[in-house]
Amino acid sequence: MANEQDLMERIVALAKRRGFIYPSSEIYGGINGFWDYGPLGVELKRNLKDAWWQDIVRCPPAGPDGLPLQMVGLDCSIIMNPKVWEASGHLSGFSDPMVTCKECKKHQRADQIMEQLAKSDWVQEVIQFCVVQPDGRAIIHGKELLGWARKRGKKIAPGLALVRNPEVTISWMIEKAAHDGPAFTAQEFVKHVATEQFAQTGLVTPCPYCGGPLTEPRQFNLMFKTFVGAMEDSSALAYLRPETAQGIFANYKNVLDTTRIKVPFGIAQIGKAFRNEINPRNFTFRSREFEQMEIEFFCHPSQADPWYAWWRDARYKWYVDHGLKSSKLRLRDHQKEELAHYARACADVEYEFPFGISELEGIANRTDFDLAQHQKFSGRDMTYFDDETKERFIPYVIEPSGGIDRAALAFLCEAYAEDEAPDENGAMQRRTVLRFHPRLAPVKAAIFPLVKKDGMPEKALEIYTALRPHMTAFYDEKGAVGRRYRRQDEAGTPFCITVDGQTREDGTVTIRDRDSMKQERIASDAPTLLGCLQDRLRR
Ligand code: ATP
């Protein structure tokens, strides 16, 4: 746990240091839940969006019938007629039950409290004073727990009853363990520390952060409000979209009427979405402004189940193909109880971040819910007429909905590695490397002259100029070459090309591979070099 936290801190530090991600408006102290992408981050994000757009809209794979999918793109406005949000249910239903800590004032989602408690530092420490016997009986080390409560507890969980009133709470816990016998397991212990002791003292569930008491859950609407035009009254009230999907539904008829597309087909969109998240956290994972990549795939109701299964598997595979190891990735089908009332099936693509397993993308069979709602609220006909079968119906919708920022963060976490590389003198040094999939790497090739003389900078600049129209390239002539390699490793650049003394003799340069650190000599004429790089980038 501590290691993982430490790892996350190192990733965040690297992201800042190398210009991937900065806190928004940092010169004024930042603003919680908002982030800016620096020169390397913006390239990573753009590569991610380009890869998705290419693979989904411009060159989609063949569907289950072997035919290429029919996909088109869309770019809708962020602010739409507020009726859209009435129809979609966001105005009434887009709110999470929240609790607030009365001590530290942190707002948290009520449905995530138990999960947060399990990860909480104070729970992790307190549980060590409960030793489970082979017969399942728990023994509480009261004296040590008292010591913890009086010193360490005061620092990390000052609001906890165990800390504020240690003698009474501990004697109650020991009694409870003796009385309940084998039923009092380690989990029970945590549960008691976390909840029941508070029931005894008249308090509710404690805060995972400070141990203080939490309020009852309250509803909280996540949509950002704004006003359109000069008036600031309810007639001018509008919302920043909390998802891009509704713009697609609102335009479904436009697309049908202005193209020759037929069901089954999909509309894809990439764009900003805004949610006034109560507790933005885990770096960019839960932000208040983020980008989504969403697909609404319209099909005949009888075909929705196979299309759902197809999209679910295709989206999972897309992440694996771009470098997320399947051991850290999982496809989790939702249980019936978890499904929204309109959804027939739903699965999440989840990734094991250093802070835990969390959702990257959700794939849902949303039935005809959204189109039927918009038909009801707008009065416009949302049915589709099939010329061949002469059937009229409202299509079912399969929705793969992912977040660009979450995906970028997952690729960043997956790419991050520390190993050793030789320095200028051949001594092994620790290096940080980002092993991005070449398609996502912000810079594809860095070009260096070995030294700043003997015509090497001129030749290196010539190569750099020849490569730039074809890929993001970087030129660097400053400092020892070993250090330049390591700077590129940290940026995730897959290939470094160095012009050296031999270049003038035989026209070759070295090409160094980021991951294996092996160097090979290749011809430096532009077509050969470009061909060789493009070939390696495709692998
Ligand atoms: P969560 O349960 O984590 O809040 P969600 O299920 O509400 O997510 P959706 O409404 O399904 O998320 O949104 C689709 C995708 O948009 C998510 O899979 C995620 O990648 C992205 N996303 C949603 N909320 C955020 C956020 N606050 N910050 C960054 N990305 C987000």
What is the chain's pLDDT, residue by residue, as a tens digit (539 residues)?
457 779 999 999 999 999 999 999 999 999 999 999 999 999 999 999 999 999 999 999 998 888 889 999 999 999 999 999 999 988 877 777 888 887 887 878 888 887 888 788 888 888 888 777 777 667 788 899 899 999 999 998 888 878 888 888 888 778 777 777 665 565 566 556 655 444 444 445 788 888 887 887 877 788 999 999 988 888 899 999 999 999 999 999 999 999 989 999 999 999 999 999 988 989 999 999 999 999 999 999 999 999 999 999 999 999 999 999 889 999 999 988 788 888 899 999 999 999 999 999 999 999 999 999 999 999 999 999 999 999 999 999 999 999 999 999 999 999 999 998 877 777 888 899 999 999 999 999 999 999 999 999 999 999 999 999 999 999 999 999 999 999 999 999 999 999 999 999 999 999 999 999 999 999 999 899 999 999 998 87
**DSSP annotation string for 340-368:** -TT-SEEEEEEEEETTEEEEEEEEEE-TT
Cα of 358 vs centre of ligand 1, distance in Å, is: 10
Mutate to test the pocket of ligand 1, among 359, 361, 397 (most ligand atoms within 8 A of CB): 359
Q: What whole-number distance in Å separates Cα of residue 98 and Cα of residue 267?
A: 34
Cβ-based neighbour number of residue 179 at 10 Å: 9
Torsion on CA atoms 141, 147, 152, 156, rounded to nearest 10: 60
96 lines ligand 1 (CB under 6 A): no
Residues 170-182 have pLDDT tens digits of: 887 787 777 776 6
274 lines ligand 1 (CB under 6 A): no
Q: What whole-number distance in Å separates Cα of residue 81 and Cα of residue 91?
A: 12
Cα of 495 vs centre of ligand 1, distance in Å, is: 34
Contacts of 414 (CB under 8 A, 6+ apart): 323, 324, 325, 328, 351, 435
Answer yes or no: are the C-beta atoms of 281 and 307 closer than 8 Å: no
Cα of 196 vs centre of ligand 1, distance in Å, is: 33
Residues 328-361 have pLDDT tens digits of: 999 999 988 788 888 899 999 999 999 999 999 9
Residue nearest to atom 10 of ligand 1 (CA): 243
Residues 19-78 have pLDDT tens digits of: 999 999 999 999 999 999 999 999 999 999 999 999 999 999 998 888 889 999 999 999
Nearest atom (ligand 1) to Cα of 407: 20
315 lines ligand 1 (CB under 6 A): no
Torsion on CA atoms 336, 338, 340, 343, rounded to nearest 10: -40
Cα of 5 vs centre of ligand 1, distance in Å, is: 22
Cα of 403 vs centre of ligand 1, distance in Å, is: 7
Nearest atom (ligand 1) to Cα of 359: 18
Contacts of 53 (CB under 8 A, 6+ apart): 73, 268, 270
Mutate to test the pocket of ligand 1, among 112, 115, 290 (most ligand atoms within 8 A of CB): 290
Q: What whole-number distance in Å separates Cα of residue 353 and Cα of residue 144?
A: 34
360 lines ligand 1 (CB under 6 A): yes
Residue nearest to atom 22 of ligand 1 (CA): 403
Cα of 363 vs centre of ligand 1, distance in Å, is: 12
213 lines ligand 1 (CB under 6 A): no
pLDDT value of position 186? 58
Answer yes or no: are the C-beta atoms of 185 and 140 closer than 8 Å: no
Mutate to test the pocket of ligand 1, among 355, 399, 406 (most ligand atoms within 8 A of CB): 406
Nearest atom (ligand 1) to Cα of 290: 29
Nearest atom (ligand 1) to Cα of 294: 14
399 lines ligand 1 (CB under 6 A): no
Cα of 243 vs centre of ligand 1, distance in Å, is: 9
Nearest atom (ligand 1) to Cα of 364: 11
368 lines ligand 1 (CB under 6 A): no
493 lines ligand 1 (CB under 6 A): no
286 lines ligand 1 (CB under 6 A): yes
How much is the pTM? 0.83
**Three-class SS string for 462-514?**
HHHHHHCCCCCEEECCCCCHHHHHHHHHHHCCCEEEEECHHHHHHCEEEEEEC
